[in-house]
Amino acid sequence: MSPTTPTYDVIVIGLGGMGSAAAHHLSARGARVLGLERYGPVHRHGSSHGGSRVTRQSYFEDPAYVPLLLRAYELYEQVERDTGREIALLCGGVMVGRPDGRVVSGARLSAETWGLPHEMLDAREIRRRFPTLTPRDDEVALYEERAGLVRPENTVAAHLQLATRQGAELRFEEPVVRWEPCGGGVRVHTPEDAYTAGQLVICPGAWAPGLLADLGVPFTIERQVMYWFQPTGGVGPFLPERHPIYVWEDAAGVQVYGFPAIDGPDLGAKVAFFRRGTVCTPDTIDRTVHAHEVAAMADHMSRQVPLLPGRLLKAVTCMYTTTPDEHFVIARHPAHPESVTVACGFSGHGFKFVPVVGEIVADLALDGTTAHPVGLFDPRRITGPLDAAAAAAPA
C-alpha cells in the first residue's frame, strides 16, 4: 500500500444497484467510504440497466419478502425527493396465469398474508380492463394497484449522486483483483493500488463466482435478453394509464414479464422471458441477440399480447446471478464475520429491493446486525454449517 493511501471505514466492491445503494447508506451514516467499480458509472455490462424493472408487493416468490418491499417503496420515495430524479412509476400490475400456478397462487398468498390491497380478476374482466391482454378462459389475474416499475439507471445514478454528496470516494474503471483479511480489517487490491478498511462490503453481481469463491454458494450466471417492440397500430393502447406491468405464467410454467410504453414511440414497449436464459460468464456472454431469439419472443407474445410484437426496435442482454433456491444472499460472510458483508445472488428478482438492501448492508457492516428480516438470505442454508477449515481459508 502506498504511503498516501488513506484507511477507510468501509470499502464497497461493485457500484451497480446494490453497491451504489450501500455506498449511499454507509456514507449517510458518516462512514468513510471507498467504492470501487470495474466499469464506469451506470454501465450496461451487468444487471442494473434496461430502462425498467418490475416492482410489486404481492410477491409470489415468498411472503417473507413483503416487509422488505414495503420499506423499499418508502426509500424509493425518499431518493426521489433527495435527488429530483424519476425512480418509480406505480402504474398498476397484473400477475396472470392459472389459479393454481406459482405466479397467481404465490402472489395471492403474499397479498392475503400481509393484508395487501388487491383484486382477483377472471379472464373476461382482464380483457375488459386491459384490452391489450388476451388471457385464456382458464386464466385469472391478481391486480395490484401499487405495482409498477422502477428505473434502474436513474436509481444507480441517484445513489451515486447521494454517496458523493455525503463524502464517499468513488473510483471507476478500477476492478478489484483480490481481497484479504488484514489486521482485524481488510485489504483490497486493484491494478492501481491496495486499500485498507475496517469493513468490506462485496456487491459483485455476476462477478460473484470469482470474488466470493470461498463463500461456497454455487452461483449460476445466466444470459438474459430484453426486447422492445413497436406495437401494431402504435403505442397508444400501451401507455401507462391504459396498460399495466405484467408477470404472466402459461400452462407450461413459462413466465414472461412486460411493461407499458414509458419512453415514447421510438422505444415501444418492453418484454422479456423470466428464467429462460443460457449459462454464461461475464467474459463469455454473447451480447448479440439472434433472429431465432426474437422470433421465439414474438411468437410467445402473439398469443398473450397480440398487438405487441409488431416490429422489433431494440434488444439487449443482461445477466442474472442465480442461487440454487433463487433466494438472495445477504449476510455477514460466514468465514469472515467480523469484517466482510456480502450482498449477491439476486436471482433475477432483486432490483426492486435495491434501496432496502443498501440499508441492510449498512446495518450489517456498521452494527453487525439488522432489524430487517434477512434470515432467509443466510448462505449457510445452501452451504451448511461452517466448519473450522472453511473458516480459516483465505479469501
**Any known ligand binding at 31?**
yes
Q: In the numeric block, which cell numbers belong to residue 217?
A: 454458494
Residue 2, pLDDT score: 45
CA dist list (Å): 20 to 11, 24, 31, 157, 335: 12, 6, 14, 8, 24
**Any known ligand binding at 26?**
yes
Site of grid cell 502506498: 2
392, burial (CB in 10 Å: exposed 0-12, middle 13-18, buried 19+): exposed
Residue 265, pLDDT score: 85
CA dist list (Å): 357 to 21, 69, 159, 302: 7, 10, 12, 37
**Any known ligand binding at 18?**
yes
**Any known ligand binding at 46?**
no
Residue 389, pLDDT score: 36
**Any known ligand binding at 36?**
yes
**Any known ligand binding at 25?**
yes
**Does residue 377 contact residue 330 with C-beta atoms inside 8 Å?**
yes
**Any known ligand binding at 212?**
no
**Any known ligand binding at 168?**
no
CA dist list (Å): 62 to 110, 113, 163: 7, 10, 31
Q: What does R_g of the chain's alpha carbons equal in angstroms?
A: 21
**Any known ligand binding at 187?**
no
What is the distance, to the nearest Å, from the Cα of residue 108 to the centroid of all Cα atoms in its chain?
22
Site of grid cell 430524479: 85
Give the span between the Cα atoms of 256 and 156, in whole angstroms. Answer: 25
**Any known ligand binding at 392?**
no
pLDDT tens-digit profile, the chain (395 residues): 444 455 899 999 999 999 999 999 999 999 999 999 999 999 999 999 999 999 999 999 999 999 999 999 999 999 999 999 999 999 999 999 999 999 999 999 999 999 999 999 999 999 999 999 999 999 999 999 999 999 999 999 999 999 999 999 999 999 999 999 998 899 999 999 999 999 999 999 999 999 999 999 999 999 999 999 999 999 999 999 999 999 999 999 999 999 999 998 889 999 999 988 999 999 999 999 999 999 999 999 999 999 999 899 999 999 999 999 999 999 999 999 999 999 999 999 999 999 999 999 999 999 999 999 999 999 999 998 644 333 333 33
DSSP string, 93-143: EEEEE-TTSHHHHHHHHHHHHHT---EEE-HHHHHHH-TT----TT-EEEE
**Any known ligand binding at 15?**
yes
**Any known ligand binding at 264?**
no
**What does DSSP say about strands 53-55 and 178-182: parallel, antiparallel, or unpaired?**
unpaired
Residue 6, pLDDT score: 58
**Any known ligand binding at 29?**
yes
Query: What single-letter DSSP state applies at residue 58?
Result: S
E strand spans, the chain = 7-13, 33-36, 53-55, 88-89, 93-97, 119-121, 140-144, 148-150, 169-171, 178-182, 185-189, 194-202, 220-230, 245-249, 255-258, 269-274, 278-279, 311-322, 329-332, 340-344
**Any known ligand binding at 35?**
yes
Query: Full-prediction pTM beyond 0.85?
Result: yes
Residue 390, pLDDT score: 37
Other C-beta atoms closer than 10 Å to the C-beta of 30 total 11
Residue 281, pLDDT score: 97
**Any known ligand binding at 202?**
no
Give the span between the Cα atoms of 36 and 243, in whole angstroms. Answer: 39
**Any known ligand binding at 13?**
yes
DSSP string, 168-201: -EEE-S----EEEEETTEEEEE-SS-EEEEEEEE
Q: In the numeric block, which cell numbers belong to residue 105?
A: 397462487
Question: Within a 13 Å sphere around the CA of 286, how many CA atoms are in the beta-carbon half?
Answer: 8
**Any known ligand binding at 94?**
no
Which residues, 6 or more positions from 295, have their beta carbon under 8 angstroms from its beta carbon?
Answer: none
Residue 386, pLDDT score: 46
